[in-house]
Structure 1
Amino acid sequence: MTAPQALGPVIGDWPVLDGAAAGLAPALLDWASRDDPACPRLCLVTGGRGTGKSRLLAWLLAGSDSHPATTVHATVPARGQIALTLAWEIGRQLGYGPTGPGELLERVEADPRPLRVIIPDLHLAGRGPADLPAADPRTVVAELLAPLLSLPGVRAAVEVERAELFPGPGRPLVLALPQGAPAFTRPDPWETGPDRTDPRATAGVRDWEQAPAAVRETALDRAVRQGTGSVLLTDPGYLAHGSAAAITAALADSRIAVPRSLRTVWASAGPVLSSAELSYSERAAVLHAAAVAVDPPLAEYLRPRAEQHSWTARWTRAELRTAGLTLDQGSLLVVDLIGRLHEHDPADGRPVARRPVGPGFRPVHIAAVGARRLLAVDAMGRLQLVPAPGAAPGTGAADPFPDHLRDLVLRHNAAVLAGGTAPVTAVAADRGNVAVADAGGGFQLWSAEQGTAGARSHRAHRVPVTAISCLVPPGSQDGLCLVVTGAGDGTVRLWDSRTGRSMPEPVERRNALPTALALADTGAGLVLAVAWSDRRLHLWRLSEGRVTFVPLVRDVDALALTGDGLLVCGGTDGAFALALDLDTL
């Protein structure tokens, strides 16, 4: 006879905990596993320095994955953070990307998950000049944590020295550890820092990459106290390697004189640079990408270091706010946010010409179907064929759309209007194949040669498809076309047109939304680019199953990839291009 399964978490599944904290562990676990209305949504772990507060929260985190009821969705130390930088990291860990406090609250309110968050060291929060509210941990409570905990389904375990710092909402559960000082306390580099006589502790550091971590973390705090913050903030080396939280807090003080463009650059780069997972060369590449169109001298200074990384920003055009884009015979075709079609030079983003799309039709997605012709989708999910410049629709050789392709488009639109087919959400095309994705979770693959006889329908996902790309592999002789789909369930799947089946497991599954896809045959083989809603770009070398992560400084809703590694990205914040080092992917 099998033993019955435990209904709740078992404390024996957690690591052994000793000292005073061990006595509070059962109460903390009981709080973490309850979801009834009578259970406080806030648990405060209080006590003096060295009494075991952090160890108790670390104990809860260490075993939290052993039972669904205790899953922790975000753990963000508040030490040295202001409300903005703390929100960036909470949003990143929840799968939203680095979001400001307002957007974070909106995303959490719409999130169906019951969210559990751990915030160590709240009493050490705050950054920047001491006379400003951002330096006070109570500002983090008022601007971020209290509003967050007022939302249904959010619960937090927070470390503070005294419960008075965070009084609610409601009546929190307080787990108090002894207040006495420990017998031994290791020196804290945050408070003591390097000796003031150490030249690396001043703004005169020349090689910030080689400077000790404590120096990079505390240098700007010291400079602000000494009134030399503006000197350090105009040091490009420090901007690429210094503390993102300290820089963000200092730039929020309008009394610190810096070039106006720097605050604009940091507004884009700061959320990305606040992530601890970036290498130093990648930090330089991110800062360079944010500066290309805003601060040319800073971008030029950073360019040699940025080019040592596997990707580098080639150009940025913030004015080119983009709904959809595609590459066609050496030209970049872009649909703007009001449905106008532009032709640009992909090498630098320079505008070349305007393209007519027909009266009364405002496309949001486009795909090149050969000979400078396009298949477009509007916001209602209807399709339209856009002829080459100078060609009139329906004029035979001047408008060489195959009759069966026109027939497929007409049939599809009629089915959408009649409610028999879900509206189109994305399109892609390659070498005579057209892939049309829809809001019902499926896609159709059309063959330009075979017409309706070659049309196939596939149920890709159970939720709307958000992005699609297709490619005929080089040397394919049997009609093979690879199709990649991304959907609102956070999965990206690879399909084989011969079998109509996807790979058994998704290429990726994440707690984010795939917003754009691009599949290309490159010098490194087949490469798949996936843009995600949390401002991450993943580059897959499909033959090896290897992936490279690229942080994005802007939202991306459209992608196009060339064989030599130029990746063009578009979104509501503009368009930009990255040069990829394919050999290091």
Structure 2
Amino acid sequence: MNGGEQHTGTQGQDQERTGGGNAWRYALYEGADPAGRIPVQNVQGSWPPGPGAAFRPNPRLGRPLADPVPADAPPPGVPPLGAGRKPAGRALLAWLEDARGPRLCRVAGSSGSGRTHLLTWLAAACPPDHPRPGRRVHALLDVEGLTVRSATARLADLLGLTAGTPAELLEVLQDGTPRTVVVTDLDRAGGAGLPGTPERVAGELLAPLLSVPWLLLVVEAAHGPAADLLTAAAPGGAVLDLDQPQWTDPEKYAAWCARLAGHPVDPAATHPSPGLAQLAARTPGAALDPDRPPAERATALADTWWAALPAAERGALTALSTAEGPLSTELWATLPGAGGEPTVKSAADLLPPPPMADRWRLRPDEVAHRVAADRPPVDHSAMMWEVAGGIPVRADGGPDLAASDPERLALLLRHASLGDPATPMLDELDLLLYAEPASVTAAFQRAKDAGAPAGALADAWRLAVPDRDPLARPADRAAVLHAFLTGRDDESAAHCAELADARWHTVWNRPAAGPCMTALGIGPTAGSLLIADGTALRLTDPATGEPGPVSGESVEAHPRALAATPFGGALLLDASGTLRPVAVGGAVGAPPGTVETLGPCTAVAGHHDALVFGHPDGSTSHSTLSTGLTHRPETPLHDGPVTAVGVTDADGGTLVVSGGEDGRVWTWMPGRPPLPAPVDRRPHPVTATALGATPAGLLLAAAWSDGLLRLRRWGERHRGADIRLGATVRSLAVTPDGLVVVALPEAVLALTLVG
């Protein structure tokens, strides 16, 4: 495995990587190698992208990350790695544990060289809970057929986070948590109809990730433009080229070849490519020149293989080549010219086994090129109608999309989009709800690239970020699309709400200029909602979401918390941890000198004549401004910083809620001991909390970093609603009428529980 030159960091160094406009910069302590792996404790802090961005102290500085895996836990067994590839496997494991190694390892090689298999093995051998921290893979992302947005959403989901854009993902990765990400099939990103997507994924998503000091990246990419972008972002990165013979043990490879079923394989002629050997075992009379490069041998072998095929199997494989993506055996058998299930199964036996069970495509690439060269261009319009013929029919004669296979609907949409990027099928709401989400995202991307205007459905799909496992069910997808269609396409919103049959619905939806914070007005601003959208602060009607004129001065682009104060203004906690007063309509947020006496805080909320604070040590406090009296539980309720607080009237007193980095949600009342246990807990940091006394009872709202928003009425532990809205919720407010106002990166929504 080879690597490039590395450089030494200096005190307070400004480290910036190639990565477009998404790259962050980091201040490193002396001795840190900016091209290598930088322990969290060696990073002083960071600056977000853009001019004039405020410095953010490293949240882990001086506070080591607790390892949830016991050091004495038994290590998992290492799965077998065949085809003589143990040298490559050992090299990857050594790179993974090398504290002085580069942060990028690219696995290269020709098609069929076993890149995907090797990286799948690595992820299985190194689970996230491995007792050795140096042997952990936290996400295995297959980007075949994905766009930048769908790849970003799936990666965030795999990491227990939520993000719809690379910038959002970079933002949530600034938590100082070491992670290792494995990416496979970069060269197949986008699929047919989206040329250049591998380069876009490399440049817009992966290259910026390489700027994060505590993140390691293993990427499968052959030599080419996408690989060049990664090299530019990490010039010292390691490269493991599986076409190089030293990464395959010749004797073990020969023994593996001898066990292949079918025709005899000459290991010297196919070494070091397992895919070439598997194809040779399916090809009678294969004779290869071992001195030729793997790609040339693959081309010659594909010609021999194709010439030897029976006519029926040729037809089945030609049909598979028209799909423009992997297919199950069942769907493949229904394609025009496929010849039915028996012929397809016979044809499948003539292909190397797929990386994923029952997801067939022509491989290696030379096989796909050979089959495509013998067929006429695909008539996508005709294929669309052929695929549509397999959709079940309702009693009224219309297509029953709900009863159809999501894979078939994805293929239908793929051909429709390839034939016409602005296809009217993108206006068919039920098709979007029941098809595989990645195909829908790719179709919307083709329409955008072709210059088609984005309508309400396209915008709602983008904001909902459906390319995540939690939205695999159409009902869950319908619920979140309903949220973003409300106020823009009320007919579609109502249809989604009916299908979702959820315990919540959206009352209003307003677009936002940037990441938002919200807070209920108190004192002079009581009855209004304060919303800061990264540009200005406005007083808003909580019943309708109708914004008033700008009421406050400009605010930071990434605020952390917002609280109304009894003085008529507000307090804003910015992303760097600085708390400052903000004037609202001429009223001050706090008298001069007030903020300076408060000490460090990580969360803030206002209530009547009081302010509630969360602190870095896990404690919370309630300060009455008129008396100067402060209450706080005797011991901190959270392990690590408090990340969100809320407060309301309850039971003749004041009830405080807090959420922490430890994933726990606690409640307590000033002057009384806290409850013996948290009211909720999840294995993700809390990002927002709110409490409110409503006509239906006390309502608790809490959100976590994986995107879950949980609404519960007090005492209804097993009811309420768990909601995912396509982004991490950073701010919540509960109005006296029972609306839950949710601030998101590009929108503010008002939700209500039903029943």
Give TM-score scaled by structure 2 length: 0.58
| Deviation readout 1:61-113 (Å, 9 max, x if unpaired) | 557534322222222121211233212222333355224235545665x4533
| Deviation readout 1:247-273 (Å, 9 max, x if unpaired) | 22222234374654444333322xx21
Work out the CA distance in 2 between the residues paired with 1:420 and 1:150. Answer: 35
Tell whether the 8 Å contact from 1:96 to 1:534 is kept in structure 2 after alignment. yes
Letter paired with 1:265: A
SS at match of 1:76: strand
Structure 2 counterpart of 1:243: 436
Letter paired with 1:560: A
- Determine if the alignment matches structure 1 residue 529 to structure 2 residue 596: no
Tell whether the 8 Å contact from 2:81 to 2:121 is kept in structure 1 after alignment. no
Tell whether the 8 Å contact from 1:428 to 1:468 is kept in structure 2 after alignment. no
Deviation at 1:23, TM superposition (A): 3.7
- Determine if the alignment matches structure 1 residue 189 to structure 2 residue 189: no
Tell whether the 8 Å contact from 2:71 to 2:131 is kept in structure 1 after alignment. no
Tell whether the 8 Å contact from 1:128 to 1:250 is kept in structure 2 after alignment. no
Q: 1:286 aligns with which of 457, 464, 480?
A: 480
Q: How does 1:220-239 map to 2 (within 5 A)?
A: 220-227=413-420, 230-239=423-432
Tell whether the 8 Å contact from 1:48 to 1:181 is kept in structure 2 after alignment. no
Q: 2:460 aligns with which of 231, 245, 265?
A: 265
Work out the CA distance in 2 between the residues paired with 1:62 and 1:441. Answer: 30
Distance 1:384 1:238, change over 3 A: closer
Letter paired with 2:711: L
SS at match of 2:137: coil
Letter paired with 1:119: V
Structure 1 counterpart of 2:751: 578
- Structure with the higher strand share, 1 or 2: 1
- Determine if the alignment matches structure 1 residue 178 to structure 2 residue 274: yes
Structure 2 counterpart of 1:482: 655
Tell whether the 8 Å contact from 2:76 to 2:125 is kept in structure 1 after alignment. no
Deviation at 1:529, TM superposition (A): 1.0
Letter paired with 2:209: L
SS at match of 2:274: coil
Letter paired with 1:529: A
Which consecutive residues of structure 2, in runs of 5 or more, have no partner in the other structure?
Answer: 1-69, 232-236, 243-247, 249-272, 283-312, 321-325, 337-385
- Determine if the alignment matches structure 1 residue 35 to structure 2 residue 98: yes
Distance 1:333 1:18, change over 3 A: closer
- Determine if the alignment matches structure 1 residue 199 to structure 2 residue 376: no
Distance 1:70 1:539, change over 3 A: farther
Work out the CA distance in 2 between the residues paired with 1:435 and 1:225. Answer: 56
Deviation at 1:235, TM superposition (A): 0.5
Letter paired with 1:427: A
Tell whether the 8 Å contact from 1:42 to 1:149 is kept in structure 2 after alignment. no
SS at match of 2:488: coil
Structure 2 counterpart of 1:277: 470
Q: 1:144 aligns with which of 179, 183, 205?
A: 205
Q: Which moved more, 1:88-97 or 1:12-21?
A: 12-21
Letter paired with 1:573: E
CA-atom RMSD in angstroms: 4.9
| Deviation readout 1:395-428 (Å, 9 max, x if unpaired) | xxxxxxxxxxx9xx87xx64643x5634684124
Distance 1:325 1:95, change over 3 A: same
Letter paired with 1:173: L
Structure 2 counterpart of 1:72: 137
Q: 1:97 aligns with which of 158, 162, 171?
A: 162
Distance 1:231 1:330, change over 3 A: same
Letter paired with 1:189: L
Deviation at 1:276, TM superposition (A): 1.9
Distance 1:35 1:200, change over 3 A: farther
Tell whether the 8 Å contact from 1:383 to 1:424 is kept in structure 2 after alignment. no
SS at match of 1:285: helix
Letter paired with 2:125: L
Letter paired with 2:599: T
Structure 2 counterpart of 1:334: 530
Q: How does 1:284-363 map to 2 (within 5 A)?
A: 284-306=478-500, 308-318=501-511, 323-326=517-520, 331-336=527-532, 342=539, 344=541, 346-350=542-546
Structure 1 counterpart of 2:405: 212
Work out the CA distance in 2 between the residues paired with 1:447 and 1:38. Answer: 53
- Determine if the alignment matches structure 1 residue 129 to structure 2 residue 206: no
Distance 1:189 1:471, change over 3 A: same
Distance 1:24 1:277, change over 3 A: farther
Tell whether the 8 Å contact from 2:709 to 2:723 is kept in structure 1 after alignment. yes
Give TM-score scaled by structure 1 length: 0.73
Distance 1:80 1:384, change over 3 A: closer
Q: Which moved more, 1:55-64 or 1:432-441?
A: 432-441
Which one has a bigger Cα radius of gyration? 2
Work out the CA distance in 1 between the residues paired with 2:129 and 2:415. Answer: 38
Structure 1 counterpart of 2:722: 549
Letter paired with 1:207: D
Distance 1:144 1:31, change over 3 A: farther
Distance 1:502 1:14, change over 3 A: farther
Tell whether the 8 Å contact from 1:88 to 1:99 is kept in structure 2 after alignment. yes
Deviation at 1:116, TM superposition (A): 0.8
Tell whether the 8 Å contact from 2:710 to 2:723 is kept in structure 1 after alignment. yes
Deviation at 1:444, TM superposition (A): 2.9
Letter paired with 1:13: P
Which consecutive residues of structure 1, in runs of 5 or more, have no partner in the other structure?
Answer: 1-5, 394-405
Structure 2 counterpart of 1:445: 622
Q: Which moved more, 1:545-554 or 1:70-79?
A: 545-554
Work out the CA distance in 2 between the residues paired with 1:506 and 1:71. Answer: 32
SS at match of 1:113: coil
Structure 2 counterpart of 1:421: 599
Q: How does 1:5-84 map to 2 (within 5 A)?
A: 13-14=76-77, 16-17=79-80, 19-20=82-83, 23=86, 27=90, 30-31=93-94, 33-38=96-101, 41-42=104-105, 44=107, 48=112, 52-53=117-118, 56-62=121-127, 65-84=130-149
| Deviation readout 1:487-543 (Å, 9 max, x if unpaired) | 4666543335445457556833555551x3212356886542123456442335664
Work out the CA distance in 2 between the residues paired with 1:356 and 1:140. Answer: 40
Deviation at 1:325, TM superposition (A): 2.5
- Determine if the alignment matches structure 1 residue 469 to structure 2 residue 641: no
Work out the CA distance in 1 between the residues paired with 2:207 and 2:80. Answer: 30
Letter paired with 1:568: V
Deviation at 1:226, TM superposition (A): 3.5
Work out the CA distance in 1 between the residues paired with 2:633 and 2:724. Answer: 35
Work out the CA distance in 1 between the residues paired with 2:475 and 2:555. Answer: 45
Tell whether the 8 Å contact from 1:31 to 1:39 is kept in structure 2 after alignment. no
Tell whether the 8 Å contact from 1:203 to 1:232 is kept in structure 2 after alignment. no
Q: 1:156 aligns with which of 191, 210, 217?
A: 217
SS at match of 2:469: coil
Distance 1:143 1:355, change over 3 A: closer
Tell whether the 8 Å contact from 1:250 to 1:256 is kept in structure 2 after alignment. no
Structure 2 counterpart of 1:401: none
Q: How many residues align?
A: 535
SS at match of 2:722: strand
